[in-house]
Structure 1
Amino acid sequence: MKRILLGMFAVVLAWSMGAARADEMVLGGGDVVKISVFGNPDLGVETRVSESGFITVPLVGQVAVGGLSSAAAEAKIASMLERGGFVKKPQVNLLITALTSQQVSVLGQVKNAGRYPIEGRRTVLDLLALAGGIGIDGGDIVTVVRTRDGKIYKEQVDTAELVRNTDMASNLDVQGGDTIFVERAPRFYIYGEVQRPGMLRLERQMTVLQALSAGGGLTPRGTERGLRIKRRDEFGKLQTIDVRGDDLLRPDDVVYVKESLF
């Protein structure tokens, strides 16, 4: 059910990304823009925004556009052309032809990892939708690394709870330079007298009995008596613990199913 809900979110959010308006984009270093002035073809230019946020416009010279939307940059250039006496009531059009400054990296267990441009206000779910959603081996917890005011912050988003409870407050906004990382889902291991021993996905609140079921059930020689788990403690020391069927598993637990003596 969680995968179906996330898939539905991906479709809706990917559509909304395509409907974003160009004037919501914020310009930054490395972006390429094409400027035209109606009725004045000689003033047309295609240029790259410098790392300090400036572009060079014919007649006007250096114009600071870093941090401005394309609409705000158009208004600023038009104002400078008119104040300088170059063009009366200029109609300026600024088209972003390459948006490189406002990109978010989506990495880890997603279908299409990469760098994605963001337009206007975007959230973690928006970017996961652009990346095709969480892959089959991905976990529910998504780590977001963000730089704000020169400081690096790391926050986590529980995508399953977010979708299940529609708690959009935890759907963090992202900005250019942020990184979203989807880790591999937690695993456990099972061996001994089960039908399918090996490494398996650990679901939430998974019990030992559910782990036996995930392993295909007991072999004819297996028994639920004397079940044991090998688990590392907080210091990394391996411990062997006797468990019951309703005990909960933890990531990287190793479940051992004994052979029946009778």
Structure 2
Amino acid sequence: MKKYRLLVMVLLFSLLNGALLNTASAADIQLGAGDVIKISVYDHPDLALETRINEDGSISFPLIGDVSVGGVSTSVSEKKIANLLETGGFIHNAQVNIIVTSMQSQVVSVLGQVNRPGRYAIDGKRSLTDILALAGGGNADAGDTVTLIRQRDGKTQKEVIDLIDMVRTGDMQSNQELLGGDVIYIERAPRFYIYGEIQRPGAYRLERNMTVLQALSVGGGLSQRGTARGVRLKRLDAKGVLQETTVQHGDKVGPDDVLYVQESLF
């Protein structure tokens, strides 16, 4: 439980840090189709406009007509509109301000074992942990790793990131900045199964480096008729064939392993 509390603290910190970063870098937001923007021109309230960017990345602005703003930042779009107003002879020394009121073009998808799966807008710079924090973090069934799928230079890239290692080592290189279209997927944590002469037979979460003795403890310990000697383990080999062996208390339990506690002969 301690490691999960630590992870939650990191995610919450990341959320707060991301909010501050977003405020500071609002001018760097890249605009795209579907985004809703509010445009104002200093000392010209009649030119105020709130509009949605068309599929071709353009908007229609009073006096100057269609303007392409898709694929560039708000600051670049502000300068472009100001320049068109000035060169068209409409306004001298135009001062244009753009605020994004709804970001629809730059979204990432968060799937799998999270508390709030869905699509999240990247309004400014957002890291992996920022988006996970927005999605409420992993749920009770979440594993320790995140799969990040993204398109870069026309190629699909897949990376598996170990959140626990990232937190423990403090190496945040894997906490990458995300872009629109990225997909985050958290798989269900691996399980093991235990049955036979055990207090609570069933399926349980497999912790890292879990031993047979720890697995027996998770299952509530032996029943009155159970014996700790000769615990049997069933595991699929590399060819998918089920193998059965006798294990010792210090042996490691793997994903989808099945433990069988035998009945004592005495």
Decide: shared fold, TM above 0.5: yes
- Structure 1 stretches of 5 or more lacking a match? none
Percent pairwise identity: 55
Q: Aligned partners of 2:95 and 2:265: how far apart in 1?
A: 89
The answer to whether structure 1 residue 53 and structure 2 residue 57 are counterparts is yes
Q: Aligned partners of 1:67 and 1:201: how far apart in 2?
A: 45
Aligned counterparts, 1:1-262, within 5 A = 1-19=2-20, 20-21=22-23, 22-262=26-266
**TM-fit CA distance, 1:180:** 0.5
Task: Tell me if the contact between 1:24 and 1:119 (Cα under 8 Å) persists in the aligned partners.
Answer: no
SS of residue paired to 1:141: strand
| TM-score normalized with structure 1 length | 0.95
Which moves more between the two structures, 205-214 or 40-49? Answer: 40-49
Q: Aligned partners of 1:4 and 1:67: how far apart in 2?
A: 40
**TM-fit CA distance, 1:135:** 1.1
**TM-fit CA distance, 1:178:** 0.7
Task: Tell me if the contact between 1:143 and 1:154 (Cα under 8 Å) persists in the aligned partners.
Answer: yes
**TM-fit CA distance, 1:163:** 0.5
Q: Aligned partners of 2:28 and 2:6: how far apart in 1?
A: 28
Q: Aligned partners of 1:213 and 1:109: how far apart in 2?
A: 26
SS of residue paired to 2:146: strand
Q: Aligned partners of 2:32 and 2:135: how far apart in 1?
A: 23
SS of residue paired to 1:174: coil
| TM-score normalized with structure 2 length | 0.94
**TM-fit CA distance, 1:64:** 2.1
- Structure 2 stretches of 5 or more lacking a match? none
Q: Aligned partners of 2:69 and 2:259: how far apart in 1?
A: 60
Code of the residue aligned with 2:91 in structure 1: it is V
Q: Deviations over 1:8-29 (max 9, x none)?
A: 1122122223321232321111
**TM-fit CA distance, 1:194:** 0.9
Code of the residue aligned with 2:202 in structure 1: it is G
Give aligned pairs, total.
262
